[in-house]
Chains A and B, each alone.
Chain A
Amino acid sequence: MAKITYVEHDGTEHTVEVKTGMSVMEGAIKNNVPGIDADCGGACACATCHVYVDPAFEGKTGEKSAMEESMLDFAENVEPNSRLSCQIKVSDDLDGLVVRMPESQH
Chain B
Amino acid sequence: MRGSGLANPGAPDLNARVVIIGAGHAGGSAAAFLRQYGHTGPIILIGDEPLVPYQRPPLSKAWLKGEADADSLALKPADWYADNNCRLMLGVSATKIERAARRVVLSTGETLDYDILVLATGARARTLPLPGADLKGVMALRTAADAEQLKAALGPGKHLAVVGGGYVGLEAAASARALGAEAVVLEREPRVLARVACQQLSDFFTRYHTGHGVVFELSAGVEGFEGRDGQVTGVRLADGRVLPCDAALVGVGAIPNDELAQAAGLDCVNGVVVDLEARTADPAIFAIGDVTHRPLPLYDRMFRLESVPNALEQAKQVACAIVGRPAPPPEVPWFWSDQYDLKLQIAGMPFDADTILVRGDPATAKFAVFHLKGDLVQAVEAVNSPPEFMMGKILIGGRKPVSRERLADSSISMKEVAA
Contact = CB atoms under 8 A, between A and B. Distances in A.
Contacts of A46: 309, 334, 336
A41 B57 contact: yes
B285 interface: no
A46 B344 CA distance: 11
A73 B338 CA distance: 21
A1 interface: no
Label chain A's interface by main secondary structure. loop
A31 B75 CA distance: 10
B336 A43 contact: yes
B368 to A, nearest CB: 13
Given A41-B308, A46-B309, A106-B331, A74 B76 contact: no
B292 interface: no
B90 interface: no
Interface residues of B, number: 30
A43 B343 CA distance: 9
B117 interface: no
A99 to B, nearest CB: 18
Contacts of B345: 45
Interface in A18-77: 22, 26, 29-32, 34, 37, 39-41, 43-47, 67, 70-71, 73-75
Interface stretch (B4-12, B98-106, B251-259, B384-392): B384-392
B80 A32 contact: yes
Given A32-B80, A45-B345, A46-B334, A74 B386 contact: yes
Contacts of B309: 39-40, 46
Interface residues of A, number: 23
Contact of A43 (B76, B338, B387): B338
Interface string B306-319: 00110010000000
Given A41-B57, A41-B308, A46-B309, A74 B391 contact: yes
Given A31-B80, A32-B32, A40-B57, 4 more contacts: A22-B72, A30-B80, A74-B394, A75-B390
Interface string A76-106: 0000000000000000000000000000001
Contact of A45 (B35, B36, B343): B343
Nearest to B72: A26
Nearest to A34: B36
A43 B308 CA distance: 12
A74 B390 contact: yes
Interface in B317-346: 329, 331, 334, 336, 338, 343, 345
